[in-house]
Structure 1
Amino acid sequence: MALGKQAKTLSDKQIKAVLSHVEGTRYPARDRVMVLLSVKAGLRAKEIAGLTWGMVTDSNGTVGDAIALENKASKGKRGGRTIPLNTELRAALVDLHTIALRDGKAGTDKPVIHSERGPGMSAASVTVWFHRLYDALGMDGCSSHSGRRTFVTKAAKRVVEAGGSLRDVQELAGHSSLATTQRYIQGDSDAKRKLVDMV
């Protein structure tokens, strides 16, 4: 994907607006999880569609502390990875899991993201869902990949504070190459100015 064609990253204000918007949808708990899987775990549309309850629950059947994304739900043969759960995302998954348990849809092989007409959504349906969401909010240039780019960019900016490196961001994103991860990261002009002054 050419640099000029990449999905836009989302500001904190935009993320807040998106989360506020989905509170009024027909399936607010599901929709909140979809948004947070994108911006707080960096999942692709295919991964959101392929995520099952077995990948987010522990041996006790409760939502765990990480997503154990399997290769079959990801991109490529080795796209599977473990992603620690962001606190906000975990809380949203707990809420959705409670609903799934009530409705008999919380089996380990059941999709986390249900559709209105069937058990789960396809990757294409997830992509369309995000397109409609951003279109309704007038967020031009945003797509299902915007949350993922936002996640990677934010993680790259904060990784040193966490005591890590870009290699950690690469592994969280499930990229086979560090060069791919670097293409996802949106630069920050203010940070560049501050950095040059520090040198």
Structure 2
Amino acid sequence: MRGGQAKVLSEPDIRRLLKVASHSRHPLRNKVIVLLSVRAGLRASEIARLDWSMVTDGRGRVGRVIELPGRVVKYGMGRRVPLHAELRAALVALRREAGAFGRSGPVVVSERGGGGDGPSLPMTPKAVVNWFTAACREGGLEGCSSHSGRRTFVTKAARLVQKAGGSLRDVQLLAGHRSIETTQAYIEGDADIQRRLVRMM
């Protein structure tokens, strides 16, 4: 990994990860894991702790935003992340597949336990990390880890934020970072963009 940081994923890389997910034992659940990382910037621990109440509206339908309360995030700093259309569609499909069991409890359910009429058990953060490691290996993605999706989200958001009329502060809030310096450290530079910037000056 360059500089000891997880690789930022290109769109073809993301498609490869999604293809690995689609051929797994739990394709919808694993697709949601990938998209929560790359389209919402969630940490592995946040993916593991995500509950249906955090992604549904007052009518119990998948809403338009992820509401992450302080109890599930790093530093206790709750945040709201608007749902990307691709992620929202995957959550709707996963909820439909889960049926009555998908009305409450964890979004990302473990294979172990929670069968029958008992409560569903969430994947652990370590299990989410391990899933990413295995999926990246299967997809031939070197230098990737569970943190790659989050770095990808932050880098893409930083590159697009000006077009949306925002600033790096908006990216910081979406990522749930305590300082803007942390957000800046996540962003991968691009030599081609740097050359274009200098030519524009």
1:83-119 deviations in Å (ceiling 9; x for gaps): 00000000000001112224x2421xx0100010131
**CA distance in 2 between partners of 1:32 and 1:77 (Å):** 27
Task: Determine whether 1:30 maps to 2:29.
Answer: yes
SS of residue in 2 equivalent to 1:98: helix
Q: Which amino acid aligns with 1:112?
A: V
In the alignment, what sits opposite 1:117? 112
Pairs within 5 Å for 1:46-195: 46-78=45-77, 80-102=78-100, 104-107=101-104, 110-118=105-113, 119-195=121-197
The alignment's C-alpha RMSD in Å is 1.2
Structure 1: runs of 5+ lacking an equivalent: none
The TM-score, its normalising length taken from structure 1, stands at: 0.95
**CA distance in 1 between partners of 2:54 and 2:35 (Å):** 16
**CA distance in 2 between partners of 1:120 and 1:50 (Å):** 7
SS of residue in 1 equivalent to 2:76: coil
**CA distance in 2 between partners of 1:105 and 1:60 (Å):** 14
- Quote how far apart the aligned CAs of 1:3 are: 6.8
1:107-157 deviations in Å (ceiling 9; x for gaps): 1xx010001013111111111110111011221210000000000000000
Residues 32 and 87 in structure 2, CA contact (< 8 A), matched pair in contact too: yes
Give me the identity figure in percent.
54
Q: Which amino acid aligns with 2:57?
A: D
Q: Which amino acid aligns with 2:20?
A: H
**CA distance in 2 between partners of 1:38 and 1:48 (Å):** 8
**CA distance in 2 between partners of 1:36 and 1:105 (Å):** 18
1:152-172 deviations in Å (ceiling 9; x for gaps): 000000000011000000000
How many residues are matched? 194
SS of residue in 2 equivalent to 1:76: helix
Q: Which amino acid aligns with 2:8?
A: T
Residues 52 and 102 in structure 2, CA contact (< 8 A), matched pair in contact too: no
**CA distance in 2 between partners of 1:167 and 1:66 (Å):** 19
Q: Which amino acid aligns with 1:115?
A: S
Q: Deviation above 2 Å: which 4+ runs of structure 1?
A: none
- Quote how far apart the aligned CAs of 1:15 are: 0.5
- Quote how far apart the aligned CAs of 1:24 are: 1.1
Q: Which amino acid aligns with 1:157?
A: R
**Comparing 15-24 and 188-197, the one that deviates more:** 15-24
**CA distance in 1 between partners of 2:82 and 2:56 (Å):** 12
Q: Which amino acid aligns with 2:91?
A: L
